[in-house]
């Protein structure tokens, strides 16, 4: 998603709460470091890393460097040393309001103050109210909230109501790191920057849409978190529905943040509501059992650390959704997410309708015209079509055009999703952040699924780790004569 960015270097104070956690050290600080070495903000800006551990400034920066070195990016020790001159570690007990005076003395309320809540959600209210008690929720402040923002519709609204007491909506940045990925932004460029695709992007020409976010990893040490969350809340309610919105939204009149978010909201409100019968027939709930990933045996979800031995938490969800508007009526959208699947991949597949009259014989599987936008692990766009095989016959064979962003833009540095989103927070650009009414609409749509699972006692279907999920996932599409992308590749 292209944005016009100010060439003026930004000056700000950023406060990262939960700075000793994995997210801060593996994602946030490396992202800010990259922005620093790219000269994207003024050197007088400060990064205040707030944690509850009693450690020295030097020890914190060294630990942060060790975490950063575990990422795929290269860290220059001299540049890192220069970057750490802008970092200050502060020990604060989140529930002790008196300790927030340390921040009040350090922050300049005449410039932008950014508060990033990289903590468990149960600390959100405490941190926000204590910031307000020392008058740090001023007009130049912005607050960044990490998911999960609530466990259901009611708890989400409770959090949003609380935050709204202290910050206005245009000061609140609900972050979804998927929206910062280059391929996600390119999805809008492909749609709204090319006559070829925009003309075909509608029910008259699109047969179906698949959105998949699959991981080969299990829950690891996050079993206690996952037991209270599950795949539907963790991935589908936010990441996948946001991707669906970008795929299905109407062309915005401009790249203004609220205009874009208005169009996304229309999609969420157009989703066909699900009743219990829909949940039974069109939603597949799964949980991984023991299996093999990359030649190595892995254990079942119920054997993971901090997981109940009789757990019914889902690690996989696949469902069929429908959008009831003029552009998409009758086009099925298949959404799928899961852990311990065959490979790590996030992709969007636009399957176009077949030609009405076939005059050429084909060789191999006839896959028709498909557009595949891959978000991870690599960022590519592939367009499948049919071409004549060489020789004296007229047989068609599936071929594809392949755009690999790393190969196409060799002189451009690929930015991480968090880096792009953090720069947007610094610049005050809300385009890639979720507005409250969007979040409300998403929760309203998924709540009938959660309620039906509880009311009908629907337990997850087992699937072996290293596969593409329960068999019912493929059957869900087969009823419509459709196959998951990997089954026709």
Residues with a catalytic annotation lie at: 239
Strand pairing of 206-214 and 296-298?
unpaired
Query: At how many degrees (to 10) do helices 77-84 and 29-37 cross?
Result: 100
Contacts of range 98-104, beta carbons closer than 8 Å, 24 or more positions apart = 100/130, 100/131, 100/133, 100/134, 100/136, 101/134, 103/15, 103/48, 103/50, 103/131, 103/134, 103/136, 104/134, 104/135, 104/136
Element (H, E) at 198: helix 195-200
Give phi and psi for 112, each to the nearest 5.
-65, 130
**Residue 459 backbone class (left: φ over 0; alpha: ψ -120 to 50; beta: rest):** beta
In sign, the C-alpha dihedral spanning 65, 68, 74, 79 is negative
Count CB atoms within 10 A of the CB of residue 392: 4
**Beta partners for 123?**
none
- Distance, in Å, from the CA atom of 439 to the CA atom of 157, rounded to the nearest integer, reads 9
Residues 6+ apart with CB under 8 A from 107: 13, 15, 48, 113, 136
d(CA 383, CA 279): 33
For the chain, helix (H) and strand (E) counts, in that order, are 18, 17
CA distances from 429 to 1, 257, 432, 455 (A): 12, 7, 8, 42
**Residues in the chain, overall count:** 489
User: Rounded to whole angstroms, how far apart are CA atoms 475 and 270?
Assistant: 26
């Amino acid at each position: 998603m292209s944005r016009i960015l100010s060439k003026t270097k930004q000056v700000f104070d950023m406060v990262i709460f939960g700075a000793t956690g994995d997210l801060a050290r593996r994602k946030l600080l490396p992202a800010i470091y990259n922005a620093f070495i790219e000269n994207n903000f003024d050197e007088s800006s400060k990064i205040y890393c707030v944690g509850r551990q009693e450690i020295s400034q030097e020890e914190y920066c060294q630990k942060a460097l060790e975490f950063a070195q575990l990422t795929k990016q290269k860290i220059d020790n001299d540049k890192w040393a220069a970057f750490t001159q802008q970092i200050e570690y502060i020990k604060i007990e989140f529930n002790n309001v008196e300790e927030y005076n340390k921040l009040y003395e350090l922050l300049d309320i005449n410039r932008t103050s950014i508060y990033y809540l990289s903590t468990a959600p149960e600390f959100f209210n405490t941190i926000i109210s204590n910031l307000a008690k020392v008058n740090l929720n001023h007009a130049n402040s912005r607050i960044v909230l990490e998911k999960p923002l609530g466990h259901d519709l009611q708890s989400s609204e409770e959090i949003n109501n609380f935050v709204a007491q202290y910050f206005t909506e245009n000061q609140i940045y609900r972050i979804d790191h998927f929206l910062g990925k280059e391929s996600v932004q390119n999805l809008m460029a492909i749609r709204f920057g090319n006559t070829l695709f925009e003309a075909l992007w509608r029910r008259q020409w699109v047969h179906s849409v698949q959105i998949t976010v699959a991981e080969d990893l299990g829950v690891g040490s996050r079993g206690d978190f996952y037991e209270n969350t599950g795949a539907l809340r963790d991935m589908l309610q936010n990441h996948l529905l946001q991707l669906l919105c970008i795929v299905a939204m109407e062309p915005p009149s401009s790249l203004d943040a609220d205009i874009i978010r208005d169009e996304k909201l229309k999609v969420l409100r157009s989703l066909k509501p699900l009743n219990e019968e829909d949940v039974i027939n069109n939603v597949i709930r799964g949980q991984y059992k023991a299996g093999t990933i990359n030649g190595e045996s892995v254990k079942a979800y119920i054997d993971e650390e901090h997981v109940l031995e009789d757990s019914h938490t889902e690690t996989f969800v696949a469902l069929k959704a429908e959008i009831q508007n003029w552009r998409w009526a009758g086009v099925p959208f298949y959404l799928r997410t899961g852990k311990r699947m065959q490979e790590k991949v996030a992709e969007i597949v636009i399957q176009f309708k077949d030609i009405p009259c076939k005059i050429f014989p084909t060789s191999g599987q006839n896959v028709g015209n498909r557009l595949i936008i891959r978000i991870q692990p690599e960022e590519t766009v592939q367009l499948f079509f049919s071409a004549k095989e060489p020789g004296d016959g007229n047989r068609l064979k599936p071929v594809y055009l392949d755009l690999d962003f790393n190969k196409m833009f060799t002189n451009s540095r690929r930015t991480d999703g968090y880096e792009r989103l953090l720069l947007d927070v610094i610049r005050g650009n809300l385009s890639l952040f979720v507005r409250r009414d969007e979040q409300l609409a998403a929760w309203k749509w998924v709540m009938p699924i959660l309620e039906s699972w509880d009311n009908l006692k629907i337990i997850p279907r087992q699937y072996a780790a290293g596969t593409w999920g329960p068999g019912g996932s493929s059957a869900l599409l087969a009823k419509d004569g459709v196959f998951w992308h990997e089954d026709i590749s």
